[in-house]
Amino acid sequence: MTEEDYKNGQVLLIDKPLNWTSFQVVNKLRWEIRQKFNIKKIKVGHAGTLDPLATGLLILCTGKFTKKIDTYQAQEKEYTGTITVGGTTPSYDLETEIDKTYPTNHITNELILETTKQFLGELDQKPPIFSAIKKDGKKLYELARAGETTEIKTRKVTISEFEITKINLPNIDFRVACSKGTYIRSLAFDFGKSLNSGAHLSALRRTKIGDFLVDDAQTVEGFISSI
């Protein structure tokens, strides 16, 4: 591809590595494109943040295609992952330590499968306190790390599919298809509560955004070697 191709607009499908922020991926690819073509400036943005502890599909848009980001961001997303029951964390995932433990002896396969039905359709979901949502100009995770308590409003989200793919307690593997704005960490937390226990998200991978598949995505290294 040429410099003009990137400036006119490209959609890049990247398989985000573990422990990278989505912003780091954008920065890395922007820097590599600039170096390759010796250009001072190129627009690059992503269509939907993945947490550092999540892997999977990240859509990046370059040049004039950055105007399409909102369109891609609005599309349905699909994830696979693991919910671990018996303990909660303040961030609802493994970014923070387990702060409370709960009994799990009463949890059966039947209860797990029955409970998934509560999470289908339109839901009122409360985002995690450790999130990039802004309140009074500050990101919630900045307030959380400073020890400030914040009242978070619920938001409407839609879960069209919620399938349990494997049960090996305390771990429950799942696949979920959901609307823009759905927090899978919140789903894991709420799922634990509905099991009369507690839970956190221990693994997450985004497999699909609209018609785009992670199977068609490149690694960061793969992209760098291809330009």
Taking the CB of residue 16, how many other CB atoms lie within 10 A of it? 27
Q: Is the CB of residue 140 less than 8 Å from the CB of residue 127? A: yes
Please say if 15 is a catalytic residue: no
Q: Which long-range contacts (CB under 8 A, 24 or more apart) does 95-101 make?
A: 95/51, 95/52, 95/53, 95/130, 96/130, 98/200, 100/198, 101/198
Element holding 175 (H helix, E strand): strand 171-178
Q: Which of 51, 70, 99, 190 is catalytic?
A: 51
Identify the burial level of 175 via C-beta atoms within 10 angstroms of its C-beta, where 0-12 means exposed, 13-18 middle and 19 or more buried: middle
Active site residues: 51
